[in-house]
């Protein structure tokens, strides 16, 4: 069942309040909602498929819900390219009292090849791509490397869940645009 039919997973209360306090545009809030929803699907899948893999669920959910918050400071990046929102978003979150472990996603969601990137960062990055059915093999391979099991089996399992999530991309795009 698609997220639209069952209702999207609500944003964490703190993230929702933070977005309201910075007057986040509705398009940005819609984007963060769909990425957060996809991240929740990925977390649920991980919990069932790879229960031994330790993941900071709260961090992934908050990170997905706020990763682009810096776009309130760089609104041109809402509809065009740019990366100024990444460090600006991190700083904005820190200024609002958000712990570094939660704020980091604002600067890591597009830097998933950098040293020190954790599985949680990769999951937010992956959710930020697959919500619109964009497949990024290098990113997916990094996720596969972090999961336990025979690599080809892990790849096939991840591929299956990403294909399933991607089937709802059209309504997510429509939701963000509405």
Instruction: Kindly write down the DSSP assignment for every residue of 117-161, as one continuous string.
Output: --HHHHHHHHHHHHTTT---HHHHHHHHHHS-S-HHHHHHHHHHH
Q: What is the pLDDT of residue 37?
A: 97
**DSSP code, position 10:** P
| Contact assessment for residue 124 and residue 83, using Cβ atoms and an 8 Å cutoff | no
Q: What is the pLDDT of residue 1?
A: 38
Q: What is the pLDDT of residue 6?
A: 52
**pTM for the structure as a whole:** 0.95
Q: What is the pLDDT of residue 7?
A: 79
- From first to last of its 178 residues, what are the pLDDT tens digits of the chain? 344 445 799 999 999 999 999 999 999 999 999 999 999 999 999 999 999 999 999 999 999 999 999 999 999 999 999 999 999 999 999 999 999 999 999 999 999 999 999 999 999 999 999 999 999 999 999 999 999 899 999 999 999 999 999 999 999 999 998 8
Q: What is the pLDDT of residue 178?
A: 82
| Structural domains of the chain ordered from first start | 3-177 (1.10.3210)
DSSP string over 90-127: HHHHHHTT--HHHHTHHHHTT-TTSTT--HHHHHHHHH
């Amino acid at each position: 069942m698609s997220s639209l039919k069952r209702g999207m997973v609500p944003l964490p209360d703190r993230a929702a309040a933070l977005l309201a306090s910075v007057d986040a545009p509705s398009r940005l809030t819609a984007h963060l909602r769909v990425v957060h929803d996809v991240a929740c699907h990925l977390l649920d899948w991980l919990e069932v498929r790879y229960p031994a893999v330790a993941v900071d669920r709260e961090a992934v959910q908050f990170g997905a819900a706020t990763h682009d918050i810096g776009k309130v400071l760089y609104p041109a990046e809402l509809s065009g390219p740019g990366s100024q929102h990444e460090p600006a978003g991190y700083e904005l979150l820190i200024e609002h009292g958000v712990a570094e472990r939660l704020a980091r996603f604002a600067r890591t969601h597009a830097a998933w090849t950098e040293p020190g990137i954790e599985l949680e960062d990769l999951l937010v990055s992956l959710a930020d791509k697959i919500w619109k059915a964009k497949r990024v093999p290098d990113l997916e391979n990094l996720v596969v490397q972090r999961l336990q099991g025979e690599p080809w089996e892990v790849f096939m399992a991840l591929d299956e869940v990403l294909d399933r999530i991607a089937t709802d991309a059209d309504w997510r795009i429509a939701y963000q645009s509405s």
